[in-house]
Amino acid sequence: MSKKSFNPFEMAQAQFDKIAGLLNMDEASRELLRCPLREYHFSIPIKMDDGSSKVFRGFRVQHNDARGPGKGGIRFHPMETIDTVRALSMWMTWKTAVVDIPLGGSKGGVVCDPHNLSPRELEQIARGWVRQLAHNVGPLSDVPAPDVMTSPQIMLWMLDEYEIIHRAKYPGFITGKPVGMGGSLGRVEATGFGLIFTVREALKELGIKPEDTIASVEGFGNVAQYAIRLFNEIGGTVTAVSCWDQEDNTAYSFRKKDGIVIDQLLSVTDRFGGINKNKARDLGYEVLPGDEWIEQDVDILIPAALENEITAENVGKISPRVKIIAEGANGPTSPEADEVIKNRGIFIIPDLLANAGGVTCSYFEQVQNSMNYYWQKDEVLGRLDIKMTNAFIAVSELAKKRKLYMRDAAFVIAINRVAQACKDRGWI
């Protein structure tokens, strides 16, 4: 699948079909699970700051809610497509199932570029999205959250609109809210930290000390920044990161051979995870082409930017030294590249497991909203560690027992749980 023709939904369905075959799943279950239960497509008309009107396309896809209310973020992205949202909603179903939280899978999006929108315009889009969907989402049916280029502030505008429409307080309608306004401590760290909890367990299994390892990371946004911070705390070194340069419309990698210094690099990074290349150069970082993050001589690769970044075209560039690939992003590896990685015996921590820390903490946020009582950060991150570690162990034990690739083992656990829930409810 080349980058141009890449369709994430086709990829998600191909992944599902393969596992359904492995599980000898009945036809009806296959038909139910390979497509979303419901989807909403709508227009959001906005008055722009200059007085003109503009219409944005919005989506919500509810893939499956047999195990509990749908859960999944809302992405604001200029290249957003319905098939991306469908794929992401399906991956959410598997993700909530693999970490065994009582939620299903959904996803939403708006085709827009927040870089070119004022805060007021963004607020109008956020409120418009909720106005279109207020009766089809909610704390007991489908719970949105932030994703690429959506923020706690956007979540709060959305919550406010929802509460205005429903004339009561529903803090559990949406997660990723600001702390102090129903948000959970630890949410900003959760995905990146969760990823490193699984890397720590994988290193244990491989008998490698974290302090003997070097990593290269694609992306320098929320997931990457906290992953790097915790990876450093457990003793690892990160020598390269890449990110998107808005001005040049291209990606760059930033390398420091003795290890990037996270706080230093953050001081020259914008709120979208874009690093200022001139300032980084002044700080002693080499500025390289964007795709060079993948060819670094490291032990661990962490793709934490977008989907379809490790492909048939660049998988051959992965250094023989790489032992672990921990997928921070959703769907970063194409099926062709995955086959190569599998044959090379690289230990993959698949996205549905590796980046499930975010949704797990979102679940904790909802639990706290329901109790109207809030945990300390250590309590949140401690519970997160337990959930992620247990999920990792379950997947790696199944992988060993049935001689499965880690990705397949994670899918087997997740898909089995969801198919069983559909059966238990009498849907199939």
Enzyme catalytic residues = 107
Give the residue with the Cβ less far from ligand NAD, 173 or 293: 293
Kindly tell me which residue out of 308, 355, 366, 396 binds ligand NAD, with binding defined by CB under 6 A: 355
Our finding on whether 96 is near ligand NAD (CB under 6 A) is: no
Q: Which stretch binds ligand NAD (CB under 6 A): 18-26, 143-151, 153-161, 276-284?
A: 143-151
Looking at the Cβ atoms of 94 and 220, the one nearer to ligand NAD is 220
Residue written as token pair 């989807």: 39
Residue 182 near ligand NAD by CB under 6 A: no
> 66 and 425 in contact (C-beta within 8 Å)?
yes
Residue in 59, 173, 197, 220 binding ligand NAD, rule: CB under 6 A: 220
Q: d(Cα 141, Cα 39) in Å, to the nearest integer?
A: 14
Q: Cβ of residue 247: shortest distance to ligand NAD, in angstroms?
A: 12
Q: Which helix (H) or strand (E) covers residue 60, if one does?
A: strand 53-64
Whole-angstrom distance, CA of residue 85 vs CA of residue 58:
10
Contact between 228 and ligand NAD by CB under 6 A: the answer reads no
The residue range among 7-15, 19-27, 159-167, 221-229 that interacts with ligand NAD, by the rule CB under 6 A, is 221-229
How many of the other CB atoms lie within 10 Å of CB of 403? Answer: 9
Do the Cβ atoms of 300 and 236 come closer than 8 Å? yes
Q: Residues 239, 330, 333, 366: which binds ligand NAD (CB under 6 A)?
A: 330
Confirm if 304 and 221 have CB atoms less than 8 A apart: yes
Residue 326 found at the interface with ligand NAD (CB under 6 A): no
Residue 25: half-sphere exposure toward Cβ, Cα within 13 Å = 26
Q: What are phi and psi of 374, to 5 degrees?
A: -115, 135
> Scanning residues 251 to 280, which ones bind ligand NAD (CB under 6 A)?
251, 272-274
CA pseudo-torsion sign 192, 197, 200, 201: negative
The verdict on 66 binding ligand NAD (CB under 6 A) reads no
Pairing of strands 286-289, 53-64: unpaired
Give min distance, CB of 252 to ligand NAD, in A. 8
Q: Which of residues 295-324 bind ligand NAD (CB under 6 A)?
A: 304-306
Instruction: Give the binding-site size for ligand NAD (rule: CB under 6 A).
Output: 27
Among 59, 244, 254, 392, binds ligand NAD (CB under 6 A): 244
Contact region for ligand NAD (CB under 6 A) — 5-13, 241-249, 371-379, 388-396?
Answer: 241-249
Angle at 199 between CA 295 and CA 232, to 5 degrees: 80
Least distance (Å) from ligand NAD to the CB of residue 329?
3
- What H or E segment, with its residue span, contains residue 105? strand 105-111
Nearer to ligand NAD, 125 or 251 (CB): 251
CA proximity to 232, closest of 174, 186, 193: 193
**Does residue 243 touch ligand NAD according to CB under 6 A?**
yes
Residue type at 408 in one-letter notation: D
Out of 144, 183, 221, 236, point to the residue binding ligand NAD (CB under 6 A): 221
CA dihedral 367, 369, 370, 371 (to 10 degrees): 90
- Residue 360 as a binder of ligand NAD (CB under 6 A): the answer is no
Q: Which of 12, 97, 98, 148 binds ligand NAD (CB under 6 A)?
A: 148
* Distance set, CA 24 to CA 17, 74, 400, 419 (Å): 10, 34, 20, 12
- For ligand NAD, which is the closer residue by CB, 45 or 119? 119
**137 neighbors 65 (Cβ within 8 angstroms):** no
Binding region for ligand NAD (CB under 6 A): 147-149, 191, 218-224, 242-244, 251, 272-274, 290, 304-306, 328-330, 355, 358
